[in-house]
Amino acid sequence: MSRLDSMLRRFTAQRDGLNWAAKEIAGVDGDVLDMGLGNGRTYDHLREILSDRRVWVIDRVLQCHPSCVPPEADFLQGEAEPMLNRLANEGHKIVLAHYDFGFGVKEQDVAEAAAMSPVIASVMTQGGIIVSGQPLVGFEELDGPAGIPEGRYLFYRA
C-alpha cells in the first residue's frame, strides 16, 4: 500500500471514529479534548460535530492553520501531563478525548501512550470515550465503528 493510500485510510478511520464516538456520548455531560493540535484538522472537525461542547486542546506549540486556532482560554500550551493535571485540578471532566501525541517512532509512541494513560484517566468522565492512534492501558477497549481495519484506530471507554 502506498503512503498516500495509508494516510487516506488513517484519515478516514479517524473521521469515522470521531463521528461514531460523538454519537456514543450524546446525552452524557462533559467537555471534549484534543491531545495534539498539529495543523488543526481534528480540532476543526471536533468543533464542527460537537459545536455545543467546549473543546480543549493540548499541544507544545501553536502552529496550526490560521482557521483552526482554538480560543486562547481553551488552548493549553505545554507538556501534556501538567496540562492534564491542570484540567483535573480545575474539575473539568472530559467525555470524548482524541489522543494524537507522538514522535513518529512506534516504540516511543507506544511507551508514551502507556505512560500517559493514567493521567488521561484522571480527566475522563465515567463512560467517556477515547479515540486514539496509539494503544492506551487501563481502559475498556471497544470495537468502534464498522469498517475501520483492526489496529488502524483504537477506541476505549473510561
| Cα separation of the two ends of the chain | 34
Listed range (18-27, 29-38, 65-74, 143-152) with the worst mean pLDDT: 143-152
Element at 88 (helix H, strand E): helix 80-89
Q: If DSSP states are collapsed to H, E and C, what string results for 4-30?
A: HHHHHHHHHHHHHHHHHHHHHCCCCCC
- Report the predicted TM-score, pTM, of the whole model to 2 decimal places: 0.94
- Whole-number pLDDT of residue 125: 97
Helix (H) and strand (E) counts in the chain: 4, 7
- Whole-number pLDDT of residue 1: 85
- Whole-number pLDDT of residue 38: 92
Domain residue spans of the chain: 3-157
C-alpha cell at 134: 496509539
In whole angstroms, how far apart are CA 91 and each of 17, 80, 123, 129, 156? 27, 17, 8, 18, 22
Length of the chain: 158
- Confirm or reject CATH 3.40.50.150 for domain 3-157, answering yes or no: yes
Angle of helix 80-89 relative to helix 106-121, nearest 10 degrees, comes to 10
